Structure 1
């Protein structure tokens, strides 16, 4: 079985529920405050580990209590944390999350996430990476480091995947390095200029990315499920009906499960099915990593 190597963010989520978003200058009463380990990179690493993959996390936290909690939480889920560095000059990243009617609004302070440089990624890959392993990144770390890391992983024969979130353009030179791009509706529109309102527009957006050199494109569509375009294979997946409480980690769960399926040698169809069910289940609990189901629960 291949490994999943995740280079990405580690944030402590500070989450509160309210009936509506406050207006400028307004103070409102909330409820259900929680702190929960999160960050797109760490969430996707935990999801992959919970779906049965061997996972190694690359990234950085501060030399603070949040950093201690982040590493302890990842280790508890079986993620290798040896290559997470501790910054003395930057605090652990933080995400402020307001939950409204089952959806969420998020503001992030990157903190130590922006401190990792490509030399640290290369050193880690020298020690842990083997051809055929998965390398997964997002865009909550330093952009230049991320672009260089994706190219480095491609050069080493890894299966390179990215979730370009928060939405940001990817340099044209990097696109041919990508075996898998996973985007939601907004990220899809930002990257291609096409909003995936239906199957036709989703295919047009995917074709545009594939023409740029991307191998496989997965477009997540919220409650509508997802569409995956890979070579000559197209898979449309509709999630089971659930009572959504908090969508904070649904997308990260989908991505982590997708790459875990690849690393475990599952077919594309089975990987998508696993990701679809896991992400739907993640919406039924509050929080980020604590909401991700285990493989046994999904099965």
Structure 2
């Protein structure tokens, strides 16, 4: 559950800042990405853990309302649901601190119980708000079953080299790319350098999201820079998750990597014009109403 307070700016270290409006929104990277994929046209099943508290009940109901399969959404007894404390500045920038709660209770055993769902999937999406050992187990299962894997390594942490070779699509932002490659990323040129290093580890396709500067992508077939749609951002919470869900939904439908990125970017651009995490995610019809971006800039 996202606990969101708005302020004119982000506080400095040690500063107490008087904020404005406060609200709660259903969130969590995995759930955000699941909701995004579902609203953007995919059939989605969610594997995760919630607490036996009021937030957990709300989170489960929210996923069901999006027609997401929650058969593998487990309740951890005597545990709080995960929360994120989020400050959003007037320009849309944010800071986020996550307390994992029940997310930490997701085990390889839960993954084993979901083998049929992973086998049937067109893509498995993973992020790192659950234990890394569980993520590794899920990715290994998907690789064994022939299911493509999209990994969004956030919150960023070092990854074992063997994991990269099992990942079909790695989606990272500037901070994550820097941590994983030691390349400071501040634009398309440095993003290309970081993507080259990550692809050398065995990833099939690397996508580096650059916020308002767009996306750099690199695969065996092509690489390039796609600019982002120009919008007036008011809240960037879940923009990256919206991109991931949109990209995955479009890719599973058979779109090319470039077209799937374009679709994901347009979905993310709409999301930053609205407040909240899942509340900000657009529908497939809303994204289709926009014009596709121009050809990639080489």
TM-score class, shorter: over 0.9
Q: Which deviations, in whole Å up to 9, do the C-alpha atoms of 1:87-122 show, x marking residues without a partner?
A: 113110010001113111111110000001101111
Q: Select the residue among 101, 106, 109 that pairs with 2:96.
A: 106
**Corresponding position: 1:224 with 2:198:** no
Could you tell me how far 1:26 is from its partner in structure 2? 4.5
* Distance (Å, rounded) in 2 between the aligned partners of 1:31 and 1:91: 26
Aligned partner of residue 210 in structure 1, secondary structure: helix
Q: Is this contact kept in 2: 1:131–1:157, CA < 8 A?
A: no
* Correspondence for 1:116: 106
Q: Is this contact kept in 1: 2:119–2:142, CA < 8 A?
A: no
Aligned partner of residue 141 in structure 1, secondary structure: coil
- In the TM superposition, 1:4-19 aligns within 5 A as 12-19=1-8
Q: Select the residue among 10, 19, 28 that pairs with 1:21.
A: 10
* Correspondence for 2:161: 172
* Distance (Å, rounded) in 2 between the aligned partners of 1:25 and 1:204: 36
Aligned partner of residue 177 in structure 1, secondary structure: coil
Q: Select the residue among 204, 214, 228 that pairs with 1:239.
A: 228
Could you tell me how far 1:132 is from its partner in structure 2? 6.1
Of residues 261-270 and 239-248 in structure 1, the stretch that sits farther from structure 2 once superposed is 261-270
Of residues 177-186 and 74-83 in structure 1, the stretch that sits farther from structure 2 once superposed is 74-83
Distance change in 2, residues 1:25/1:180 (3 Å): closer
Gaps spanning 5+ residues in structure 1: where? 1-11
* Correspondence for 1:186: 175
* Correspondence for 2:137: 148
Q: Which deviations, in whole Å up to 9, do the C-alpha atoms of 1:59-79 show, x marking residues without a partner?
A: 000011101111111111121
* Distance (Å, rounded) in 1 between the aligned partners of 2:23 and 2:186: 34
* Distance (Å, rounded) in 1 between the aligned partners of 2:140 and 2:161: 12
* Correspondence for 2:295: none
* Correspondence for 1:294: 283
* Distance (Å, rounded) in 1 between the aligned partners of 2:30 and 2:9: 28
Q: Select the residue among 105, 128, 132 that pairs with 2:117.
A: 128
Q: Is this contact kept in 1: 2:198–2:206, CA < 8 A?
A: yes
Cα RMSD (Å) of the superposition? Answer: 1.4
Gaps spanning 5+ residues in structure 2: where? 289-298
* Correspondence for 2:63: 74
Could you tell me how far 1:25 is from its partner in structure 2? 5.7
Aligned partner of residue 47 in structure 1, secondary structure: helix
Of residues 265-274 and 286-295 in structure 1, the stretch that sits farther from structure 2 once superposed is 265-274
* Distance (Å, rounded) in 1 between the aligned partners of 2:11 and 2:111: 40
Aligned length: 287
Q: Which has the higher strand share?
A: 1
Q: Select the residue among 127, 148, 162 that pairs with 2:151.
A: 162
* Correspondence for 2:291: none
* Distance (Å, rounded) in 1 between the aligned partners of 2:225 and 2:250: 17
Of residues 251-260 and 195-204 in structure 1, the stretch that sits farther from structure 2 once superposed is 195-204
Structure with bigger RCO (C-alpha 8 Å, 6+ apart): 1
Q: Is this contact kept in 2: 1:132–1:157, CA < 8 A?
A: no
Scaled by the length of structure 1, what TM-score is found? 0.92
* Distance (Å, rounded) in 2 between the aligned partners of 1:164 and 1:82: 25
* Distance (Å, rounded) in 1 between the aligned partners of 2:231 and 2:197: 33
